[in-house]
Structure 1
Amino acid sequence: MTNRIRYGAKVLRLHKAISAPQFEVKTVLTNDPFVYVDLWLRRNHKDEALFYWRQAHEFYKASIGLPIESAPLVLYYCFMNAAKALLSAKGQQFSPHHGVSRHQMRGPNAKVVLSNEGIAIKPAGIVPALSVYFSEQETRQQHSLEDVLYNLAYIHRTYCLSYPRKPERFLPLKDLSFIRDANNEVRFFARPVDEANWTQFKKNLPQELAANPDGSKSLVSSGHVVWATQNAPTTAELDSLRQLSATLRKVIHYINGANALWYVKLKHKTSIGRQSITLTLAAMHRLSEICRYRPDELLSFLNGQKNWLLSEFLSTSRTQFIDEIACEMTGQQIMIPNVRIPS
């Protein structure tokens, strides 16, 4: 016998924020996360973060309507300042440098493709500071742009259509919840969507998750926490749930929308142990540098067979990145209004 855990009457589910989700706080409904976070930063006297956040907002507005040839430069400065706002608001020390650069992977006569466009994470700067903040376990400091895009849930469908021979890496989920059993053990629970190839996908689940031992078409977290009651957690019990959630969010990612869509990143040789925020900022930096210094190579990408993938990344990452930063900074679940939130 299992029951979904609650905080009073509020059912607790996986949260968009990674490091310090406020499970007990009601969902924030807003059409403009920039305005809400601006007010939140002022209310919490985060003046330096507020400065960076407002810069990010101006670059965001400037990016709207720009052609694909120009958008990466402006979007990168939007994302960089949003990341600096997050780090500042959280008290995370960081060097003002970008912390990311080109990694030479391409031979002198090689074709210009995403698989040999390299990204290097530096020892200090904004990108490595994000890695420290998220406690990322990835040891490799060089990645190809192709692999980075392969590790982003919000463009995964486009990626797989662009690379039809590549296996799907993200398992879509439904019915997400935290359940408590008769032994007072709380675990994460979810089901794959109906059309998912569960037989194939469950072979590649990350270590944080496992197929449900009851044999049903579902998965549970490998770890658990203990709650003495179903709906009246102590402060320590809520903190333990946050720790479990942070562990799960290493491998479970969401796509922003009217209702968040959740996905498990499966094990694969190209897996990168970094959060979506870190990878998106690094990828946008690489594209912005190509935009500035190597326009002929940017045109080669845009005229190539993967131009739709880059176009989708540039158009989709804008709202996704800001939503992730806004939720992470405030610790709150921020959603679009006029959508009924399931109980």
Structure 2
Amino acid sequence: MPAHKLHIAGKLVRLHGSLAAPDFRTQRVLCSDPWDFVALWLKREHKKAALFYWEQSRHFFEASSSLPALSAPLTSYYCFLNATKALLSSKGQVFTESHGVGGRSKAGHKSLSNEIVDFQGGGILPALCAYLEEPNNAGKDFTLQDLLWQMPFIHRAYCLTYKGATELFIPLKDNCFMRLDDSKEAWFQAEVDRRYVNAHTTRMIQPGFELFELEQKYYIRRKRRFRWSGRAVETSITKFKKYHKTIRRRIIPIYSSENRWYLKKSVAGHGKLVNSQMVLVFAAMHRLSELSRYDPVAFAGHFNVNHNWLLSEFIRAAPAQFVYGMASEITGLEFIRPDAF
């Protein structure tokens, strides 16, 4: 049966950068960086505490841009910390001033698998997890390698660093939400390049997604449907946001000139850590900031082994990715960068 792409307020509906409270009515924000826009938004909303933290975050971000990789994690982490406080303050979320994450090094050779990230039950990071309605992993630990594996913006660097590593992401094109003609039934759909379609694809996109071919192109779609009624738009949007959030747990953006989206495959090993990218980036940068501050000699050793490029790519690229994601969470708007990432 024919179907058409869903529009809200005359705007084609696509995946949104905000997990918690996306605004699907407003056009996307095109800006070289989100600092001024979010600051003005916070002023307009009279969020004084959040504005203070956001400005602090900006200062640390700018400081990081002029520092070498050995020093930048310290200021980058405090950029993340203050941006997260800005989000939590703007939403009226209570938090304690502890970081909520720690780390340690295991004995042995210089390896990202020997750098341990310990998740805690109280502090800024658990408060972020609570706001995003994610597990805080309290009492659990993961390696820095575990965390970096699950970030699409450095995944190619990861796979080149660790030969034979499982590629975790499938790039998606032309994502949208379809509605069956003369029906309230609607669903998520996106095109997949045929290069990524093989005997394992159907299994790897499980659970919850299915692969199909239409007019010599391949698509994935969400098996679960949602109901959309043009006569009850506000109720439909409320239900749609819940549907969107379940999809965004598996589909992750890279913020760029036209935000790119990646479906996380269902492979052994990734199910133990199901948090969104911002939580993982926060935790990983905290561990690197500890090394940069407390054990810089040992940290320098990580740049003399095979994962040095991966580490450098993360330190360089993570701040912009984190800040764009946080800007989207604060405002509920979709941000895109005018320059290619």
TM-score where L is the length of structure 1? 0.92
Q: Determine helix, strand or coil for the equivalent of 2:218.
A: coil
1:130: which partner in 2? 128
Q: Distance in 1 between matches of 2:290 and 2:98?
A: 14
Alpha-carbon offset, residue 94 of structure 1: 1.2
Alpha-carbon offset, residue 337 of structure 1: 4.7
1:306: which partner in 2? 307
1:205: which partner in 2? 205
User: Deviations for 1:110-164, whole angstroms, at most 9, x for unmatched residues?
Assistant: 2121012110110101111111111114757211000100011111111111112
2:294: which partner in 1? 293
> AA paired with 1:163?
Y
User: Deviations for 1:269-309, whole angstroms, at most 9, x for unmatched residues?
Assistant: 32120011110010000000011112222111111100000
Q: How does 1:111-150 map to 2 (within 5 A)?
A: 111-137=109-135, 139=137, 141-150=140-149
Are the structure 2 counterparts of residues 263 and 338 from structure 1 closer, same or farther at C-alpha, using a change threshold of 3 Å? closer
Unaligned runs of 5+ in 1: none
Unaligned runs of 5+ in 2: none
1:81: which partner in 2? 82
> AA paired with 1:45?
H
> AA paired with 1:315?
R
Are the structure 2 counterparts of residues 203 and 338 from structure 1 closer, same or farther at C-alpha, using a change threshold of 3 Å? closer
Alpha-carbon offset, residue 212 of structure 1: 3.9
> AA paired with 2:27?
K
Q: Determine helix, strand or coil for the equivalent of 2:37.
A: helix
Q: Distance in 2 between matches of 1:306 and 1:13?
A: 35
Q: Give yes or no for the alignment of 1:275 onto 2:273.
A: no
Q: Give yes or no for the alignment of 1:185 onto 2:185.
A: yes
> AA paired with 2:92?
G
2:159: which partner in 1? 160
User: Deviations for 1:2-25, whole angstroms, at most 9, x for unmatched residues?
Assistant: 110112421111111111110011
Quote the sequence identity (%).
35
Are the structure 2 counterparts of residues 206 and 90 from structure 1 closer, same or farther at C-alpha, using a change threshold of 3 Å? farther
2:71: which partner in 1? 70
Considering only aligned residues, what root-mean-square deviation do their CA atoms show, in Å?
2.0
Q: Any conservation in 1 of the 2:121–2:136 contact (CA below 8 Å)? A: no
Q: Give yes or no for the alignment of 1:262 onto 2:261.
A: yes
Are the structure 2 counterparts of residues 303 and 39 from structure 1 closer, same or farther at C-alpha, using a change threshold of 3 Å? same
Q: Distance in 2 between matches of 1:233 and 1:212?
A: 31
Q: Distance in 2 between matches of 1:9 and 1:337?
A: 23
Q: Any conservation in 1 of the 2:128–2:279 contact (CA below 8 Å)? A: yes
Q: Distance in 2 between matches of 1:139 and 1:212?
A: 36
2:225: which partner in 1? 224
Q: Any conservation in 1 of the 2:20–2:132 contact (CA below 8 Å)? A: yes
Q: Distance in 2 between matches of 1:228 and 1:316?
A: 41
Q: Give yes or no for the alignment of 1:51 onto 2:39.
A: no
Q: Distance in 2 between matches of 1:266 and 1:338?
A: 28
Q: Determine helix, strand or coil for the equivalent of 1:263.
A: strand
Q: Any conservation in 1 of the 2:126–2:136 contact (CA below 8 Å)? A: no
User: Deviations for 1:152-210, whole angstroms, at most 9, x for unmatched residues?
Assistant: 11111111111121110010001200001143211000121243244323311242423
Are the structure 2 counterparts of residues 338 and 155 from structure 1 closer, same or farther at C-alpha, using a change threshold of 3 Å? closer
> AA paired with 2:130?
V
User: Deviations for 1:41-91, whole angstroms, at most 9, x for unmatched residues?
Assistant: 000011111110000001111111211111111111111100111111112
